[in-house]
Amino acid sequence: MKRQKLILWSAAALVFACLSGPGLTPVPAQPVSGADSTSSPTNSVALNAQAPDAKPAPVRVQLTGAELYSMHCNRCHPERYPTERTAAQWKTIMLHMQIRANIPGEQAKLILKYLQDNSGR
């Protein structure tokens, strides 16, 4: 009961402080003095510059079904061994968990393939 009163009074004090305070007033943006930013020397130099040692974009590595299974399923609960369920049971579970855990379709297919291939039943 005391905790409820404390929360109620704290909320009332917060509302009162917000309503009686000076409030926030917007401040207009100040224009930049000098030349236009599109013609400044630093921008023109930066546009013409080339990176001395440009590296190619990193190659995306495709994760395996086992890695995806560990990554997604360990977020909420301990990981199960694939042999604990049949291939049909894993299919039903994956349909449910794909939606519940927001797993992308391609990743869900890889996880399901891993689980069914290793189900052992």
pLDDT tens column, 21-35: 555 555 566 665 555
Query: What's the rounded mean pLDDT across residues 86-101?
Result: 94
pTM over 0.95: no
CA-based angle 38:40:42, to the nearest 5? 110
For residue 120, the model assigns a pLDDT of 78
Domain range annotation of the chain:
65-117
- Name the residue among 89, 93, 87, 92 with its Cα closest to residue 113: 87
Residue 115 pLDDT grade (very low, low, confident, very high; cuts 50, 70, 90): very high
